[in-house]
């Protein structure tokens, strides 16, 4: 157990940040799955900007690596282009 007030606060804030990061990462994964399930090109094309934005925000906040975000964006764009 932590011995200092600041350490206790750090534990609380880390837990809150962890939950927020997990929620945002899971939301992005779900949005990616929805694009991959889409059969209509126009619907998938409309979802791309929001998913790209989610991935960029996750990379900016170091929830995922920036190269992973770039790879996922590239693969999604390629997938939607082939629909």
39-54 pLDDT, tens digit per residue, is 999 999 999 999 999 9
pLDDT band at residue 33, thresholds of 50, 70 and 90?
A: very high
- Name the 3-class secondary structure at 24: helix
8 Å CB contact between 45 and 75: no
Own/partner long-range contacts of 25-30 (Cβ < 8 Å, ≥24 apart): 25/58, 25/63, 25/64, 27/54, 28/54, 28/55, 28/58
DSSP letter at 61 equals T
Angle at the Cα of 69 from the Cα atoms of 64 and 75, rounded to 5 degrees: 140
Could you give the CA distance from residue 41 to residue 78 in angstroms, rounded to a whole number?
12
pLDDT reported for residue 2: 79
The CATH class, in words, for 5-82 is: mainly alpha
């Amino acid at each position: 157990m932590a011995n200092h007030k600041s350490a206790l606060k750090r534990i609380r804030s880390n837990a809150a940040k962890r939950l927020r990061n997990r929620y945002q990462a899971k939301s992005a994964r779900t949005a990616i799955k929805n694009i991959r399930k889409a059969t209509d090109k126009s619907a998938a094309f409309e979802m791309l900007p929001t998913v790209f934005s989610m991935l960029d925000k996750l990379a900016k906040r170091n929830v995922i690596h920036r190269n992973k975000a770039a790879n996922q964006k590239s693969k999604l764009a390629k997938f939607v282009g082939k629909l």
